[in-house]
Structure 1
Amino acid sequence: MNSEPNHDNRVDARRRPSPFARIERMPPLVMVLYLALLAIAVMFVVLVVAYVAARLKSGVPTGLHPLPRYFSLSTIVLVLSSYTIAQAPRLYAQDDLASLGRCLGATLLLGCVFAGLQVLGWRELLANGVPFGGPGSKSSGQFIYLISALHVAHLLGGMLFLLAFMLRVIHNGRDAVRTLVFIRNPYYRRQLRLLGTYWHFIDVLWVMLFAVFLFLY
C-alpha cells in the first residue's frame, strides 16, 4: 500500500493557514473595532426586540400617527454621508489630501445635520402625543426615543474620530514632506479604513432601525 498520498495530505494540511492563524495576524485595532460592532449590534437587537414586544403588547393599531418626517429626512442625509466617506480611500490612494479633507468635512457636516434632524424628530414625536416619560406615557414610544438617542450617541463617537482624522489630514496636507509621510504610513491608511467601516455600519444600522419604526410605529 502506498502511503505517500497520505503523507502529502498531512504536509498540505500543515501548510494551509487555519482560521485561528488569520485571527492572530489581525491587527489589535481591527479586532477591537469588530468586537465593538458586534456588541453594538447585539445591544440594538435586544432593544428592537423589546420595542416590538411592547408595541404588540399595547394593542394599539399601527399607522395611527405618521412617523416623524424628520426621521425620513435624516435617513437620506445619513445615506449621503455614507456615500461621501466611501470616496475617502480613493482620494487617499491618489495622494490628494486637499480633496480628502473636503470629503471628510462634508461627511462630518452631514453627520451634524443628521443629529439635528433627529432632535427635530423627537420634538415632532412630542407634538404627536408621544412623551418620553411620565404618567400616561406609552412604553413603546419611549423605546423610539431611547433607540434613536443611542444611535445618535454612537454616531457622535464616530464623528469625534472623524474630526480628529480630518484635522490631521488638513495639517499634513499643508507641507509636501508631511504629506508624503502621511500617505506612506500604513497606520493612517488602516485608520481611514476602520473609520469607513464604522460609519457604514452606523448607516446600515439606522436604515434597519428606521424600517422597524416605519412598519411598527
Structure 2
Amino acid sequence: MNPENNPDNHVGARQRPSPFARIERLPPLAVALYLALLAITVMFFVLIVAYVAARLRSGVPTGLHPLPRYFSLSTIVLIVSSYTMAQAPRLYAQDDLASLARGLGATLLLGCIFAGLQVLGWRELMMYGTPFSGPGSQSSGQFIYLISALHVAHLLGGMLFLLAFLLRVIHNERDAVRTLVFIRNPYYRRQLRLLSTYWHFVDVLWVVLFAVFLFMY
C-alpha cells in the first residue's frame, strides 16, 4: 500500500481513542476515591467470607437469637440519610445553599444517630450472650463486632468530610458574592459529587452486611 494513501499518515487523521482515556481524564481525587472504594469492598468481602465460614464451623443453629433490633433501626436511619444526601446535588445546582446546608446537616445528624444505634446494638448482642471476648465468646460472634465497628469507622470518616463541607457551605451562604463564587467553582461541585458517592457506597455496604447478619446470625 502506498504510504501516501494510508489515512493514518495524513495530517489531522483521526486517532484511535485510548482505552485508558476516560481514566486519564478523571481528577486525582476521584481516582483516589474509587481505588479506596475498591479496597474497602475487597476487605469487607474477605471479612464476610471469614464470618460465614466461622459461623458454619460453630455448629450453632441460625436464628437461635434474634438480631439486635437496634441494627434494624440503624438500617432504616442510614437509608433515610442516603435520601437526604441524594438531594444535595440538586440543591447545589439550584444555587440553594440554605436548603443544601439543612440537608447536609440532617444527613450528618442521621449518621450520628446510626453510630449511636450501632453501639446500642453491640450492648444488645452482649445481652443475648454474644460477648466480644472471654470464655463465652465465639469467633463468629466476634466477627459481628469487628465488621460493624469497621463499618462505623468508615462512616465516621465520611462524616468528617461531610462536616467540613457543611461548614464551608454555611460560611459561603452568608454572603452573596461568596455564594456565587462557591456555586460556580467546579472543584466544590466535584467534592460534593464524590462525597455523595462515598456516602451512598457506605449505605449500600451496610445493607449488604445487615442482610448477611440477618440470615447467618
TM-score scaled by length of structure 2: 0.94
Alignment of 1:1-217 (within 5 A): 7=6, 15-217=15-217
In structure 1, C-alpha distance between the alignment counterparts of 2:130 and 2:44, rounded to whole Å: 21
Instruction: Show CA shifts across 1:107-162 (max 9, x none).
Output: 00000000000000000000000000122311100000000000000000000000
Closer/same/farther in 2, CA of residues 203 and 10 from structure 1, 3 Å limit: farther
Preserved CA contact (<8 Å) 2:130 2:136: no
Amino acid at match of 1:15: Q
Identity, % of aligned positions: 84
Cα offset, 1:59, TM superposition: 0.8
Cα offset, 1:16, TM superposition: 3.6
After superposition, the CA RMSD in angstroms is 2.0
Amino acid at match of 1:63: G
TM-score scaled by length of structure 1: 0.94
User: Match of 2:20, SS?
Assistant: helix
Cα offset, 1:8, TM superposition: 5.1
User: Match of 1:15, SS?
Assistant: coil
User: Match of 2:98, SS?
Assistant: helix
Unaligned runs of 5+ in 1: none
Closer/same/farther in 2, CA of residues 135 and 174 from structure 1, 3 Å limit: same
Closer/same/farther in 2, CA of residues 10 and 36 from structure 1, 3 Å limit: farther
Cα offset, 1:17, TM superposition: 1.9
In structure 1, C-alpha distance between the alignment counterparts of 2:86 and 2:16, rounded to whole Å: 34
Q: Tell me whether 101-110 or 133-142 shows the greater mean CA deviation.
A: 133-142
Closer/same/farther in 2, CA of residues 113 and 10 from structure 1, 3 Å limit: farther
Amino acid at match of 1:79: I
Cα offset, 1:21, TM superposition: 1.8
